[in-house]
Structure 1
Amino acid sequence: MLKKTFNPVLIFMVAALLMQGCIKDHCTQTYSYFVPVYKTTEEVRANIKSNAPREMERTGKLYIRGNYIFLNEIDKGIHIIDNAIPTAPKNVAFIDIPGNMDMAVKGNTLYADAYTDLVTLDITDPLNAKTTKIVENAFPFRQYYGTFYPDNSKVIVDWVKRDTTVNIDCGNGGFFGIDLNKSEAFMYNDVRSLAGYSDQSMFNSSSSKSVSPFGTGGSMARFAVAGYYLYSVTLNDLNVFEISRPQQPSFTNKINIGENIETIFPFQQKLFIGSATGMYIYSISNGGNPVKESRFLHVQSCDPVIADEKHAYVTLRTGTTCNSVSNRLEILDIADINSPSLVKTYEMTNPHGLSKDGDILFICDGANGLKVYNAADVRNLKPITAIEGIETYDVIAMNNIALVVTSDGLYQYLYADPGNIQLLSKIKVKQQ
């Protein structure tokens, strides 16, 4: 059920000492906290469908299917964008899915997480998407920490910020806590999820114009569709769902991988799985029973990964719960799939998602923008350009168009001439 435990939200104070006055023995302090907005499970499920479009606020992961872009609104749902004309994309609908962080698409079917549940939607007509099945408790419970206890009989659909002023003891040296009931909590948002998305068609070595029967997902994905199976990584496990009947998925297998699993990328009957401590490679020749082939270890770090026929590309970064001390790109030789080896390391600023189309490599380098390289010789990457002034999170590059998720919206760039990359369009997030 959606009503179990929710949200990758860590609970603690988001507004420390904002105001403190002292008149004799009277001191006050103003702080902010967040109150959850609840709906019943029945109300939530009845509304998991295409609704009127919404402005973007906190964008997350990205998926492409045909002329449509599916863009996650963290913990709220999925924006549907008509991208038939890349210079003029249209935000046409929004699928309300509380607790959504990840997605995948196969044909006319979209898979998405809704807190602990797997939701399947028919998107034959994206403007009229509708739920066909919900697999309850498909993913580990999301947990709150601290003093907040959710109402487990309902679903959190939003958080409302409140400010308040309280009297405090002037001699206590500051106020760092408050008695909370079950409906009030301090909130800190963490974009790490317990399930995710991806797809196999993204990094073919050629720039084919053909449309895959699968959608295309970014490198930050935690879902992957390959053949008749949907794969999902959680913090410790690889979950397998059979989708031979796409709109009626069934859970078939769970494989313990290790700890702090983060991303998944499928390529040529392989799953490349990124973790905080390294990259795992699993064979999916027998789709329902993935088999570990090898592992490459690196220092503790968050680890998006992509691959082509010869190499795997891994970004490592600091400033996360992964406790990394490195910001770099690692390129691995995977000619011997059972023994990946490091080819070369390139220093970065704070790299996140990445994408590759032919010899052109795109890296989202956080606040340092989008970096573009000629990767024909992986031992000597040649910078082509750097697009600055945007804080980048993930990128999908295909058919000469790069879609880039940033802190302030969705950007599209034309790279038919890599030496003269041009901005095609941008959809900005709602100004707070």
Structure 2
Amino acid sequence: MRSVLYKLLMAACLVAAMLTIAGCQKDDYCNTTYRYTIYTPVYESLKNMRASFKSEGPQPIETAGKIYLYGKYIFLNELNKGIHIIDNSNPSAPNNVAFINIPGNVDMAVNGNILYADSYMDLLAVDISNPLAAKESNRVQDVFPQRVYNYYTIQADTTHLDSLIVDFKTRDTVVKAPCTVGNGPIFLNDAMSFALNASSAGKSSVVALGKGGSTARFALMNNYLYTVGTWSLQVFGIQNAAAPVKQVEVPVAGGLETIFPFNGSLLIGSTGGMFIYDASEPTNLKRKGAFGHVNSCDPVVAENTTAYVTLRGGTACGGFSNQLDVLDIKDMTNPTLIKTYPMSSPYGLGIDGKRLFVCEGANGLRFMDASDPQNIKTFKQLKNIEAYDVIPTGKVLLVTAKDGLYQYDYSSMVAPKFLSRINMTTQH
């Protein structure tokens, strides 16, 4: 017993000696170098921002954002700047005809002659009966209190009540700190709060609706506009199309990214799974079902009784899975996995009569046969395009890519025909 106590005492003395020696070292004994990015917000007054709406002539396309198709027109978002209007009467020779200056715009949807668009925290209703001379019809203020910046959600800034963040200046820096200090991804300059982002058309008996891509956060169905934020789903009544009225806001979950209207239901993609909401009573939405998956970026589309979900890992969405999940949604209260297909960094996707299109970023664009969900095959993979999202239109496929807006005739899935490309002046 005395031998055991002696050994314990000696061990304790040895540890104490080591700690004493460490404490006597120079302060930089265990310093290390950390590399950070400093984000400094750029502010603009709310008054100036809300007075900046303007219909202009065609402008160079610098960065392709989300796309929306209505009639012969393609609406192409220029991230945080506005919307390009492209006359697509001839898909082989599309014509950039106008630009709507909408600061802070990311998402949009078209209902007859009215374009709905976000402008930072506001929702705009824009009269596009003459697309070359668009007019602001209405503005619903302060309905989008959060903004997503590089997969981080910016909370409303209560320290600048008369202004808002319109951009960020970034600067890389290197600092030295003790090894015990945890490494972090960013420094925030100025008072604001960041939280991890944890971003076929429905039928209408009243007016014609357009069609958006799979990364849309706006959806139209049965005289209602549905929008998803980071945590919740909002419902706007548009019985008077030019004057949307907020009806309800429904908490869903963290990390909401996309929304897809389908047969009276809403399919919501998130970083943690797909949620299905019954929209038969638009102001009383009820969750029907859900399908969970590992954290990943998650667009979703559906056709008949099958849903298609792409998961992309290795991003701020979380996870490392890169795959296509095919789900049976015959019973929407209990969606089940049919099969998982490995992919290479998939982004947006589209489905048209069992013809499936999957964007794989730098890995190209796949034209796929989805007639048998258990045995989906690739007809053709284009590797000379960095594709992000698509809209299939029955014959012509619209594709947003790193270097332009592409169009393909997919009458032959084995040999899709290139029709046109509108180039970007810069590449994101």
Please state which band the TM-score falls in when normalised by the shorter chain.
0.7 to 0.9
Match for residue 146 of structure 2 among 141, 156, 181: 141
Match for residue 367 of structure 1 among 349, 356, 362: 362
Match of 1:26 in 2: none
Is the aligned partner of 1:115 residue 2:120? yes
CA contact (8 A) 2:217 2:228 kept: yes
Match of 2:104 in 1: 99
Gaps of 5+ in 2: 1-35, 179-183
Is the aligned partner of 1:57 residue 2:57? no
In 1, Cα distance between the equivalents of 2:52 and 2:377? Answer: 49
Match for residue 74 of structure 1 among 75, 79, 82: 79
Shift of 1:140: 2.4
Shift of 1:178: 13
CA contact (8 A) 1:405 1:411 kept: yes
Match of 2:249 in 1: 254
Answer with 1 or 2: which has the greater Rg. Answer: 2
In 1, Cα distance between the equivalents of 2:410 and 2:84? Answer: 25
Q: Deviations over 1:325-371 (max 9, x none)?
A: 10000000111111111001100000010001112100001111110
In 2, Cα distance between the equivalents of 1:78 and 1:86? Answer: 19
Match for residue 270 of structure 1 among 265, 268, 271: 265
Match for residue 234 of structure 2 among 232, 239, 250: 239
Is the aligned partner of 1:430 residue 2:425? yes
Match of 2:95 in 1: 90
Distance change >3 Å, CA 330–CA 32, structure 1 → 2? closer
Where 2:414 maps in the other structure, the secondary structure is helix
> 2:229 corresponds to which letter in structure 1?
T
In 2, Cα distance between the equivalents of 1:258 and 1:38? Answer: 30
Match for residue 295 of structure 1 among 282, 290, 293: 290
Determine which structure has the larger helix proportion and give its number: 2
> 1:276 corresponds to which letter in structure 2?
T
CA contact (8 A) 1:269 1:284 kept: yes
In 2, Cα distance between the equivalents of 1:379 and 1:170? Answer: 54
CA contact (8 A) 1:228 1:287 kept: no
Shift of 1:126: 0.9
Q: Deviations over 1:136-192 (max 9, x none)?
A: 11112337889xx896534555667899xx9x99999xxx99999869x9xxxx9x8
How does the TM-score come out when normalised to structure 2? 0.80
CA contact (8 A) 2:63 2:426 kept: no
Q: RCO higher in 1 or 2 (8 Å CA, sep ≥ 6)?
A: 1
Match for residue 399 of structure 1 among 390, 394, 406: 394
Match of 2:162 in 1: 153
In 1, Cα distance between the equivalents of 2:341 and 2:148? Answer: 36
Shift of 1:431: 3.4
CA contact (8 A) 1:76 1:157 kept: no
- RMSD in angstroms over aligned alpha carbons? 3.3
In 2, Cα distance between the equivalents of 1:122 and 1:193? Answer: 35
In 2, Cα distance between the equivalents of 1:268 and 1:180? Answer: 44
Match for residue 124 of structure 1 among 120, 126, 129: 129
How many residues are paired up? Answer: 377
Gaps of 5+ in 1: 1-30, 202-211
In 2, Cα distance between the equivalents of 1:276 and 1:375? Answer: 24
Where 1:418 maps in the other structure, the secondary structure is coil
In 2, Cα distance between the equivalents of 1:141 and 1:170? Answer: 33
Match of 2:26 in 1: none
